[in-house]
Structure 1
């Protein structure tokens, strides 16, 4: 049997169990999502997305999630080229006449992306984080088709002011944004993906329901987070050289409501300020912030822009290619009414927290 159309794939997948399960409804700003999933994974997803859960009568997006199942014959996978500076095989694709299959090389989870049917299948229960990412990708796709730009940034909001933070590789945006959450009345918007669209004299920002995944260094540097690690692990990490701790890739999910309390998430808000972290750990100069013209700083713009990746399907049904690059002009237009500032000097999270308090107290 050939694997040429979405119908070919649907004919091999058993979706009735998911379709009979109690729907899990989400609302993220103007976007509504229905997740159809049975078994223990549904409970995991319900807990993960609890801050976005809502009753959805006529969803914009419906995602099917089914455990196991495989395609026969196996698709002729083609590796998706990774972004500069990243190595290893991660995603592979198989294009259909009216859709695309995306396969995670490391886990074996496969996704069907199309305008008519969205399915996650394979070992999904043991890889719930990839299902979470697939759901959030659909929110991103929905807004990008409506003209929004996707930024590689975290964001918080308070009192009509929203601050987004991007950074050059390893810049510490997650740690910085969590320090902002110590400000009374602050709401968390997003940790790694921010959608932006110009709106009259301002701009709108939209986050996605994905909790921060943070490194041990972030946990050790914030008293609020210490209980996320065992006493033994904290002792082991504190004994490590500073450079080794900074480079350590050991991710932990931080649930905002568990640490900061209920009602501290706001996915949609006007975007007013954007900081780009261009500081250095070994810099002697004190931390400084200065307004910049983003059109004259392609290096900073590059830190903000983010490829939509293999899941993005254009409004006409065609798919993004791995040779495509984000359009700088689209970002400049989206951010034209946002104050953009560059943070330079020494990497100092106490300093960034002070600057944040000044901004939101102004």
Structure 2
């Protein structure tokens, strides 16, 4: 029988094995989480979230993680529409009267999202990255309900100035941000999801504890990142045509402390500067960074805005659909007091690094 309520789902899951497991406690900006997970995955999550492990706090969001359990029979899944330019089946949903199930087609992992319970189950041990994403999604959801906005951007900070970088997927925001990490006293904020809350003199930015997953081109063109791959793989990539390398999708985890050392993560920062990459590989024009008024450039704002996805429900418990529109006015309000710039001309990471160095070393 297809489940109709959260209680129906929970009745089919066995959570008894979690009662004797010490929970993992995380602190991310204003959000506290408590994870219950057994087996080897617990140790993997403890290592991954080492920089945000914390003592127990009040009002923690509780998440249960169960290995190998499924719903039989499976619910009647409805595909969640993907973003423009993305192909293939990824997410599917089944709405309950008081919650939502989200299913990952590629891995078979299922998530229960509801005010009453948050559960990840299925082959979770083989797909820790999806569990990590689910945990971080709860941070995003909590912030959204408090008036933050999700930006599709990477960001770094030196404490006084912070630079966020957005662009079309594959446009080089991760490569650009990681190049800025070569500057002294620079800390990594986030790779792909940046929460912004409007304020004065500048807004507050909050990253999520998600280490970058980067493409081979990012690694190849930054010698500091070469330890992520074997010498043999680096040689193979170096022999590839640049066009093929640019479009190669082969994600690798970059654990920031392993490459840059301790103390190089700082999730919360004042947001002073924001660049949108609108450069091109087929032009000879020099790379330029120019001030813009975001209110006059809906095309650039579109590169920044990011939908909350199938896991988000507002404070009233109402879930989004894959047709829920984004609110440009909310983003313009949140990003007020941020210096916005457009990056144009040819794709030149060395030139962009020089622009970033001058900006971030100015401090004031």
- The answer, yes or no, to whether TM exceeds 0.5 is yes
Give the whole-Å Cα distance in 1 for the aligned partners of 2:2 and 2:102.
17
**1:268 corresponds to:** 268
Checking the alignment, whether the CA contact within 8 Å between 2:32 and 2:57 is kept in structure 1 is: no
**2-side partners of 1:151 and 1:290: how far apart?**
20
Tell me the CA shift for residue 168 of structure 1: 2.1
Q: Is the 8 A contact 1:191 1:212 kept in 2?
A: yes
Give the Å deviation of 1:283: 1.5
Scaled by the length of structure 2, the TM-score of the pair is: 0.98
Deviations 1:214-247 (A, max 9, x none): 1111111111111211121111111111101111
Distance 2:354 2:207 in 1: 24
> Contact (CA 8 Å) 1:294, 1:340: kept in 2 or not?
yes
Q: Residue 149 of structure 1 corresponds to which residue in structure 2? A: 149
Q: Stretches of 4+ moved more than 4 A in 1?
A: none
Aligned to 1:15: 15
Aligned to 2:324: 324
Q: Judge conservation of contact 1:34–1:59 (CA < 8 Å) in 2.
A: no
Aligned residue for 2:337?
337
**Structure 2 unaligned blocks of 5 or more:** none
Aligned residue number for residue 255 of structure 2: 255
| 8 Å Cα contact 1:76-1:94 kept in structure 2 | yes
What is the deviation of 1:349?
A: 0.7
Aligned length: 362
Structure-1 residue corresponding to 2:347:
347
TM-score normalised per structure 1: 0.98
- Aligned to 1:189, the other structure's residue is in SS state strand
Q: Deviation at 1:19?
A: 3.3
**Corresponding residue for 1:65?**
65
Residues 117, 138 of structure 1: alpha-carbon distance in 2 compared, 3 angstrom cutoff:
same
- Matches of 2:206 and 2:24, distance apart in 1: 21
Residues 27 and 52 of structure 1 are in contact (CA less than 8 Å); yes or no, is this contact kept in structure 2? yes
Q: Deviations over 1:133-186 (max 9, x none)?
A: 000000000000000000000001113211100012321000000000000000
Asked if the contact 1:26/1:49 (under 8 Å) is kept, the reply is yes
Backbone CA RMSD of aligned residues: 1.0
| Structure 1, 55-64 or 127-136: larger mean CA deviation | 55-64
- Name the residue aligned to 1:179: 179
Distance apart, 1:21 and its partner CA:
1.1
Q: Matched residues in 1 for 2:58 and 2:17: separation?
A: 20
2:18, 2:193 → 1: CA distance?
28
Within 2, Cα distance between the matches of 1:158 and 1:300? 25
